[in-house]
């Protein structure tokens, strides 16, 4: 059954959500370019489009494949990864579970498998083996389960694993949160242009396998080099810094080549995932879909305890992209004001849909 068209209130609220999560708080000078291009390309609120795409795949349940994790200092150690990505993926995993009863499968590098599990646990989901998540839906007691799975950095191995998982499991949606995307030359670059291809899991292999089967896909990023940004490559490649690669063309620059069905450009990729959760909460009129301020603090503190670093400052702590904990709590608090039970009760009565 086709979903009903969103009401004017839902559209306006999701537009406000987009503007909130794309405010250039750190003054990085990138998000305005990316957001404007993505909004122009989508022709509607980015968070709403992504929410609709995920609803089309997950309305009846099933498995949501979520790729995240960025090994942030591979020249030092492959065991160092940043706090932007896993917290957003964990919060979104919870949101999709609450919204649709979906089972989240999070795909990360082997080196951060256990650290990511700790972050997912802070979001309220219990990590078990992939096969065990299927049994968690039945039985005498509820278990809100997720799986965290190591995705290979070798392209051929990642392709084989993706094909195997799509046969064995009922995957109905794919989301990438702050996950490096391959450019036309097959390289994955940081926003500064550094080549991190060898270190990172090849999540584009999973995206491609899903798209080949008609499974809806969403990309969330903040720098222009993440999976999903291929949707706006032609709109911004001549203006985005480091868009030209070592070969002097954008083919070997930071921007990915592959596209997702929907793209969210946000100041911090975690915020993009939170904005998507908020849009789902508004669209489905269920404020419980968006995590609380208290859970946000628990997630970021769990990230620090697991050893994730702030990718900007290089310190271990409950911060992300150079912004301290209170800033992230404020973003969630403001998003909660859009979806909070009391606010929405008044809004829906005043503007019935």
Residue 226 within a domain: yes
Name the least confident of 15-29, 77-91, 161-175, 238-252.
238-252
Residue 19 within a domain: no
Residue 193 within a domain: yes
Whether 343 has a pLDDT exceeding 50, the answer reads no
8 A C-beta contact, residue 337 and residue 293: no
Other Cβ atoms closer than 10 A to 350: 8
Give the tens place of pLDDT for each residue, 112-169: 999 999 999 999 999 999 999 999 876 556 899 999 999 999 999 999 999 999 999 9
Residue 49 within a domain: yes
The CATH number of the domain where 30 resides is what? 3.90.1640.20
CA 173, 176, 180, 181 torsion-angle sign: positive
Residue 318 within a domain: no
8 A C-beta contact, residue 182 and residue 226: no
Residue 169 within a domain: yes
> Which H helix or E strand runs over 105?
strand 103-108
Give the tens place of pLDDT for each residue, 319-337: 999 999 999 999 999 999 9
Residue 145 within a domain: yes
What whole-number distance in Å separates Cα of residue 139 and Cα of residue 151?
A: 30
Give the tens place of pLDDT for each residue, 258-274: 999 999 999 999 999 99
The domain containing residue 285 runs over which residues?
26-290
What whole-number distance in Å separates Cα of residue 96 and Cα of residue 313?
A: 31
pLDDT at 350: 47
179 vs 1, residue with greater confidence: 179
What whole-number distance in Å separates Cα of residue 24 and Cα of residue 240?
A: 16
Structure token pair of residue 251: 């083919």
Average model confidence (pLDDT) for the chain?
Answer: 94
Residue 231 within a domain: yes
The pTM (predicted TM-score) of the whole model is 0.95
Count of domains for the chain: 1
8 A C-beta contact, residue 251 and residue 51: no
Structure confidence at residue 2 as a pLDDT band (50, 70, 90) = low
């Amino acid at each position: 059954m086709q979903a009903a068209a969103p009401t004017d209130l839902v559209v306006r609220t999701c537009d406000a959500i987009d503007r909130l999560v794309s405010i250039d708080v750190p003054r990085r000078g990138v998000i305005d370019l990316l957001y404007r291009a993505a909004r122009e390309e989508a022709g509607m609120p980015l968070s709403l489009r992504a929410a609709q795409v995920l609803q089309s795949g997950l309305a009846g349940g099933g498995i949501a494949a979520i790729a995240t994790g960025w090994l942030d200092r591979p020249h030092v150690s492959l065991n160092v990864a940043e706090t932007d990505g896993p917290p957003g993926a964990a919060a979104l995993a919870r949101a999709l579970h609450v919204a649709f009863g979906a089972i989240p499968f999070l795909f990360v590098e082997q080196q951060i498998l256990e650290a990511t599990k700790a972050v997912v646990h802070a979001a309220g989901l219990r990590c078990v083996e992939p096969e065990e998540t299927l049994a968690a839906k039945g039985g005498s007691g509820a278990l809100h389960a997720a799986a965290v799975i190591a995705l290979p950095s070798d392209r051929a191995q990642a392709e084989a694993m993706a094909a195997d998982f799509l046969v064995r499991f009922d995957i109905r949606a794919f989301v990438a949160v702050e996950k490096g995307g391959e450019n036309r030359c097959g390289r994955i670059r940081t926003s500064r242009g550094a080549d991190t291809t060898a270190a990172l899991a090849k999540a584009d292999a999973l995206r491609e396998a899903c798209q080949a089967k008609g499974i809806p896909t969403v990309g969330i990023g903040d720098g222009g080099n993440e999976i999903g940004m291929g949707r706006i490559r032609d709109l911004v490649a001549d203006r985005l810094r480091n868009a030209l690669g070592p070969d002097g063309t954008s083919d070997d620059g930071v921007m990915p080549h592959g596209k997702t069905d929907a793209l969210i450009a946000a100041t911090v990729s975690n915020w993009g995932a939170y904005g998507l959760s908020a849009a789902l909460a508004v669209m489905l009129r269920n404020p419980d879909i968006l995590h609380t301020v208290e859970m946000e603090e628990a997630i970021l503190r769990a990230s620090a305890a697991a050893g994730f670093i702030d990718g900007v400052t290089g310190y271990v702590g409950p911060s992300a992209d150079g912004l301290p904990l209170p800033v992230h709590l404020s973003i969630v608090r403001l998003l909660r004001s859009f979806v909070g039970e009391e606010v929405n009760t008044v809004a829906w009565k005043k503007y019935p849909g």
